[in-house]
Structure 1
């Protein structure tokens, strides 16, 4: 049984007050909160076996190494990667994207084409623009419609023998749209293009299967999945990871070093230069275990109920418009009140203890498409409640009355 009241007891931060009001945290698309079970793992690491990994024969180093590699195995199983060494532990989604962009700088040439979607976060736009500047490749955009869905008929036309890379997010951080990545991947492969999927917003809500998707690269961040900040993962097919050059040089990523020549370590260490976020990696594994214990089917069902309820209640407010009305979407609602700047709404909601995100959400092209400066974004997690939705709706009504 899914018991949200019991789940909420796992999150100490949900017990605090903000501006004298009980905290209602609706900024989960920016970062999720961390349960006590994961906090305990972090404290345990620094209290009992804090040490560098892969390099020491002493007990603490061996214990830390074992826990870190066990976390990698946990993440591999969760995402159904074929091999543990196909999981590169990174500093987060942006790091993983830049790692791949850097690697492809030696593989692309003039007249090659890269496709990105109009729904992307800046971190899945800027690296590809930089890559095109370096290589002479051309960046093309899969457009969106007014519902916030990709226009797949145009995608079909954009694909050609010149298409080398396709980059798309699994779920839009700004609108909550769930993109048809299975179709995108399959069609890209038909023309010989590789595909990278930004899964940062998807992984808190569903359980992507790397082998079933047949995706070439997939990136995610722990802090969206009840884990710590500063750690994430890059999945890459073994053949691609072997083909790409290292992203950074330093310790750990080498096999042999001399002043004449350096040879690189095997996967995954080839892409993991320097001392990693050891505690973060271990805690990432713990966060994955925590969410799996609740169950992603139960999480998805509950969050969809919250989305439907919040959408219906917010649309009862006159002058409120929701941006992002795709048929397939997750628990994100981006909205504006007619004639009122989103920043002002967000500021007043904060005074009521309600945490939402305002602005362009690192997705300015989306806001430009709708010709708006930004939105108020309420993003829900499995520990939110319908009572919190009611408080949000009351808060928006109050903000409207005060700002109109």
Structure 2
């Protein structure tokens, strides 16, 4: 078998590695990684940095009818409050002294009047705290029974039942994570689109490939290109994925519940990577084959057709949040969309073994078929110089006639 002999595999490896190194610049990659690490470091430590350099503001508070029993205004952490006297308040209402940023007066009706020198962002938190605490104090002073206070203070309990009355909470985290995953896949598709189009059409115009085909077969040349560009696509997806994961972890670290915000088992993650990798090979094989039919990308009307592989990814966004629907299930099985939809479903719900197994087999078979189609399209397209093959010739190459 020709495709398995050591010489063939050695040439294939050389082509793939050459194609990968054409667009891979070590210095740029290292700079990007260093930049990413720096962004994560600053993001992770931003809370501490802002805390260290945050300004402290000085204020005074005055209760017109005396301080309510068992209550004292709890000021925001950046605002230091001291009590003010009647004479001081009369003067400060006209003009605040240099050492005072705000004057707060609590009225008998439990409203607040606030004097400041100028509008600043920290005053938004002050307003919010005043509104919340004064509203709470108003409720406490109402002649309510303990049961009535409980109704006011506590939010009603709402539970969702799944099947046998199992309590479940509504959480949009997995939906958001699935959307981000599809965005990562889009990055891989766009990377393959740009590099494959530029690589193949440029070589056709410069008549470079014709010389190389005296050494290797068209299928071998295309296999190498597909593998090399796929490595680039996967590199781009990994970089963007790590950046999104890092940002989500930083955001989650500052949230109340903590955690990474992602619940994804090892098995589901590994299976998703396999689907995405095979899907990237499939997309790049499609792009490679069709690029071979384009003579000049600047004038060809066919260039827009190469955006068709993005359609399944776009359609996958429409079923986010409904991973068990018929549309999502079908899309996760058919090869042209399973590479995007199946990982999104795995992130949102439990997928039956037969579903992902059937999907994986179909995707693998379709990848192999498309790889052969790409080789035939390239062998046919390289024969055309200065013009593009017609749709009849393209169909004959696809069907192997």
State if a TM-score over 0.5 links the two structures. no
TM-score (structure 1 length as normaliser): 0.21
More helix by share: 2
TM-score (structure 2 length as normaliser): 0.22
More RCO (CA 8 Å, sep 6+): 1
Q: Which entry has the higher C-alpha Rg, 1 or 2?
A: 2
